[in-house]
Structure 1
Amino acid sequence: MNSILIVTDAWKPQINGVVRTLERLAIELRQMGLRVELLTPQSFHSVPMPSYGEIRLSLTLPHLVRDAIEKNNCDFLHVATEGPLGLMARRVAKRDGRAFTTSYHTRFPEYLRARYPVPLSLTYDWLKRFHNSGQGCMVATRTLEEDLRKRGFSNLLRWSRGVDHNRFRPIHSDRLAHLPGPRFLYVGRVAVEKNIEAFLRLSLPGTKVVVGGGPQLDELRKTYPDVVFTGPKEGEELVEYYSGADVFVFPSLTETFGNVLLEAIACGRPVAAFPVMGPIDVIGSSGAGVLKDDLQEAALEALDISREHCREVALQFTWRASAEQFFANASQACNPTVPVGSEKAARFGKGLSKVA
C-alpha cells in the first residue's frame, strides 16, 4: 500500500483536535514514504453550519465524491468523519466494494443531547451502522473502545495521538504576567458541550483564562466579566499562553481523547480534570495532573505538581508512533487474512511502514 485518501468534513478554518490530528497524520505518513491525499469541504461548495459558522458543510452529490475518489487513485480509503462528505464516501465505497476504515473522533451523541432532547440510543444506533460498515473503526483510547464495544460497535482498532514536542515546550513567557496569579487556563472550543462553566464557576484564587473561539464565546464573556477571554490562538502565541499559566483546567465530560491535554503537559503545565474518558487515558495515574470529581480541589492540588514531570510524561506520546499505528490498521484492513486488532496486524503494518 503506497497511497491513502482521507475524507474529512472537519477541516480548516476549524481549529480543533480532529483537524490538527489529520494534518499531522498526513505529514507523518508522507515522511514515511506514502502518498497522502485529502478530500475536504475545500474541494466543494459549502455553507456554514447553522449556529456554528466555523464548520462548513459540503454541498455535493455521491457521483461527484466518486469522481474525486477515482481521480485521487489511492490504494486505500479512510473516512474520518460522519458528515456529508463522510456519508457519501462511505456510500460510494460500499457500492464499489472498496475497502475502507473510519475513525470515531467526537462523542456526537452527547454533543447533540447537550443542545437538543435527542435520545443517546437513537444517535448511537445511527453511528453504529455507519462505523460497522467498514473494515475497521479507529478509536483513540481504551476507555472509548470499551464504551463503544458495549454499544455494539465492532472491528475497533486502537489509534492513539501524539504531540509536537518541538513546538509545544516549556518556555519563559510573560504573556499572562500582568494577571494576578495563580493563573488557571482552558484552551479549546468555547461551546456548551465543553462544560466550560464548570471551570468558570469555580472559586479559585488568581485569574481564569479561556483561549479559544466558538458559539458560546459572546455569552460567556458577558456572564463572566472577570474571566479573560482571548479568542482563538495558534502557533508560538498559543505556546506562550500554555507556558504562562500555572494549571491547565479541562472541564469537559464528553471527550474521546483531548489533544490539548498533551499540549499542556508538553509545555510543562499540570492538568486538573474530571476522572472521565479522555483525561483518564491521557493523564490517568501518570502524576501529570489531578483527576477528581471536585474540579476545584483538583485545580488547587495541581499547583504542586512538578513541571518537569509533566514534560516527561508528554514525551511518551509521539506523532510518528500515532501514524505507524494508523498505517498498521489501514494495512490490516487491506489484508483480511490478518485478524483485526491482533499483534500480528500491528507488526504487519509497522513492517510495511518501513518499506512503503
Structure 2
Amino acid sequence: MNIAMFSDTYVPQKNGVATAVKIYKDEMERLGHNVFVFVPEYDSNHKREERNVFEFPAVTYFKEKEQRFALPFSKQLFKIRNLNLDVIHSHAPFSMGIMARLISSNLNLKHVGTHHTMYEYYRHYAPLIIRPSLEQSKKLIKNWCMKLDKVIVPTNNIKEVLIDYGVPQDHIVVIPTGIDMYSFDKPIKWDLRKEYNIHEEDKILLFVGRIAKEKNIDFLIKDVFKKVVEEEENVKFVIVGDGNERENLEEAVVNEGLQQKVIFTGGQARGKVIDAYKQADLFIFASYTETQGLVVLESLASGTPVIALGKMGVYDILSRKNTGGIMIPELVADDFIHNILRLLNNESEYNKLSSMGKTFVENNFSLTVNVEKLIEVYKNLI
C-alpha cells in the first residue's frame, strides 16, 4: 500500500507522537508498504536524509517552542497527487491534520486519524484570548473525530472518553502504538553512570518525557524523591527530557537541597533513552494526561519496573495482571515512597517484576501485530 502520514511532530523532536509516527513508518516499510510522512519543517539548518519525508514551512507555538504549526505553502503539495496514495493517516487535528483532511477530500481518499493526546488537558498552552473552555474542547474533539473515516485510539479508556464526548462506538478502533522490541535487545552504548558521575552503589530512579506541568514532575521531586532520599541515601533521580518547566524544576531542586541528587539530561535521541531505561533501577511516573503511556511500556520492555499513577492510558496498562509495574491509584506521595523503597530493598520481588515486564510487553504490545491491525483498518475502509 501507499500510505501518507501527516503529523505536527516528528523525529528528531522528542515526544511520544514523534516516536510513534517514526516506528509506524519503519515497521510498515519493513512489511513492504510505502510510507510518505508530511511534517512541519524542524529547523532551517536541519537537513533531513530520511527517504519519503516531506517538510512544510512552519512557525513555533506561543509557549512551546519545540512545537510547530505548518503553513500550507510548499512545493511538496504538488508532489502528493503523483504518489498514488491509497489512504491518509493523520496524527493530530491541527495544521497537518487540517491539511490531511483537505487533501483526502480533494483526492477522494479515506482519512484515518489517531487520537494520541488528551488535548482538553493542554488548553493552558493556548493564549488566553483563543483558549477554549473544557466543554468547547470536548466539542472540538468530537467534531474532529466525526470528520475522520475512522478514529484510532491506543486504549479502551480513551475510547470510553470519546464515546462520552459523543463519538459513536463503531467509529473508534482500539490499537496500541506498539513497542519495537528489537530496539531493546541492542547493547548499551550510552554509559549514564560515567557521564553523570553516578556511583555503582547508587540506585537510579528515572523519568522520561516532556518537562511540563501536566507530567507532575514537581510532585515527584518535592513530595516523593526528597522523602526517599531521607530513607535511602544512595539514590539519584535522572530526568530525561526537556520542556518549558525545566527552569522552574531546576530552581525547585536547588531550593530543596537536592542538586547533588537530581540530574537533568535534557532531551536525548531514542537510542540513548532506551539505554537510560536499561540502566535505571525504577521508572517513576505521575502524569495524568497520557492516552497510552508509551514511556511506561518502553521501561517495562527494558526490564525496568514501573511505579506510576494509574490514570487514563497508564491505567489501561497497569490495571492488568502480571505487568511488571505497580499502579498507584491516586496522587498520594506515601504510596509512591513506600513502593519505591520496598522494591529497592527487595531483590527477589524486583527481579520478578523485571522479568514479568518484558514478557508482558512482548505478549501484548508487539509493534508488528499492532501495525498489521492498522493495515487491516486501512484495507477495510478502502
Q: Is the structural similarity TM-score above 0.5?
A: yes
Residue 299 of structure 1 deviates from its aligned partner by: 3.1
Task: Flag the 1:66–1:174 CA change in 2: closer, same or farther, 3 A.
Answer: closer
Distance 1:283 1:160 in 2: 14
Distance 2:338 2:136 in 1: 36
Which residue of structure 2 lines up, in the alignment, with residue 204 of structure 1? 228
Q: List aligned pairs for 1:87-106, cutoff 5 A.
A: 87-94=98-105, 97-106=108-117
Which residue of structure 1 lines up, in the alignment, with residue 70 of structure 2? 58
Task: Flag the 1:34–1:109 CA change in 2: closer, same or farther, 3 A.
Answer: same
Match for residue 350 of structure 2 among 266, 288, 305: 305
Match for residue 314 of structure 1 among 326, 346, 361: 361
What amino acid is the match of 1:218?
Answer: E
Deviates more, 1:238-247 or 1:257-266: 238-247
Contact 1:271/1:299 (CA < 8 Å) preserved in 2?
Answer: no
Distance 2:279 2:30 in 1: 33
Q: Runs of 5+ in structure 1 lacking a partner?
A: 335-356
Which residue of structure 1 lines up, in the alignment, with residue 299 of structure 2? 264
Q: List aligned pairs for 1:18-33, cutoff 5 A.
A: 18-33=17-32
Match for residue 94 of structure 2 among 77, 83, 88: 83
Distance 2:110 2:299 in 1: 37
Which residue of structure 1 lines up, in the alignment, with residue 162 of structure 2? 148
Distance 1:47 1:231 in 2: 23
What amino acid is the match of 2:144?
Answer: F
What amino acid is the match of 1:240?
Answer: D
Which residue of structure 1 lines up, in the alignment, with residue 149 of structure 2? 135
Contact 2:324/2:356 (CA < 8 Å) preserved in 1?
Answer: yes
Contact 2:90/2:114 (CA < 8 Å) preserved in 1?
Answer: yes
Distance 1:330 1:13 in 2: 27
Task: Flag the 1:89–1:240 CA change in 2: closer, same or farther, 3 A.
Answer: closer
Which residue of structure 2 lines up, in the alignment, with residue 165 of structure 1? 181
Q: List aligned pairs for 1:232-247, cutoff 5 A.
A: 232-247=267-282
Distance 1:80 1:44 in 2: 16
What amino acid is the match of 1:216?
Answer: E
Asked if 1:282 is matched to 2:282, the reply is no
Deviation digits for residues 84-107 of structure 1 (CA, Å, limit 9, x no counterpart): 121122134345543211110011
Deviation digits for residues 215-271 of structure 1 (CA, Å, limit 9, x no counterpart): 111221121132211111224432332122211001100000111111111111111
Deviates more, 1:229-238 or 1:139-148: 229-238
Distance 2:366 2:22 in 1: 14
Task: Flag the 1:96–1:118 CA change in 2: closer, same or farther, 3 A.
Answer: same
Which residue of structure 1 lines up, in the alignment, with residue 48 of structure 2? none
Task: Flag the 1:47–1:12 CA change in 2: closer, same or farther, 3 A.
Answer: farther
Q: Secondary structure at the match of 1:122?
A: helix
Task: Flag the 1:129–1:236 CA change in 2: closer, same or farther, 3 A.
Answer: closer
Which residue of structure 1 lines up, in the alignment, with residue 51 of structure 2? none
Q: Secondary structure at the match of 2:350?
A: coil
Deviation digits for residues 68-125 of structure 1 (CA, Å, limit 9, x no counterpart): 5323320111122112121122134345543211110011111114776742211121
Residue 174 of structure 1 deviates from its aligned partner by: 5.8
Task: Flag the 1:130–1:299 CA change in 2: closer, same or farther, 3 A.
Answer: same
Asked if 1:255 is matched to 2:290, the reply is yes
Task: Flag the 1:278–1:287 CA change in 2: closer, same or farther, 3 A.
Answer: same
Deviates more, 1:236-245 or 1:98-107: 236-245
Task: Flag the 1:236–1:32 CA change in 2: closer, same or farther, 3 A.
Answer: closer
Distance 1:228 1:175 in 2: 11
What amino acid is the match of 1:204?
Answer: V
Residue 297 of structure 1 deviates from its aligned partner by: 3.2
Contact 2:64/2:125 (CA < 8 Å) preserved in 1?
Answer: no
Q: Runs of 5+ in structure 2 lacking a partner?
A: 42-54, 230-234
Identity %: 25
Asked if 1:222 is matched to 2:251, the reply is yes
What amino acid is the match of 1:246?
Answer: D
Length-normalised TM-score, structure 2:
0.80
Distance 2:10 2:17 in 1: 8
Deviation digits for residues 312-353 of structure 1 (CA, Å, limit 9, x no counterpart): 22222211112111111111221xxxxxxxxxxxxxxxxxxx
Residue 6 of structure 1 deviates from its aligned partner by: 0.9
Task: Flag the 1:223–1:69 CA change in 2: closer, same or farther, 3 A.
Answer: same
Q: Secondary structure at the match of 2:67?
A: strand
What amino acid is the match of 1:168?
Answer: F
Contact 1:104/1:137 (CA < 8 Å) preserved in 2?
Answer: yes
Residue 179 of structure 1 deviates from its aligned partner by: 7.4
Deviation digits for residues 162-216 of structure 1 (CA, Å, limit 9, x no counterpart): 2232322597786234276332110111111212112112121322221111111
Distance 1:302 1:277 in 2: 24
Q: Secondary structure at the match of 1:121?
A: helix
Asked if 1:189 is matched to 2:210, the reply is yes
Distance 2:157 2:186 in 1: 29
Task: Flag the 1:85–1:171 CA change in 2: closer, same or farther, 3 A.
Answer: closer
Contact 2:2/2:83 (CA < 8 Å) preserved in 1?
Answer: no
Distance 2:368 2:173 in 1: 17
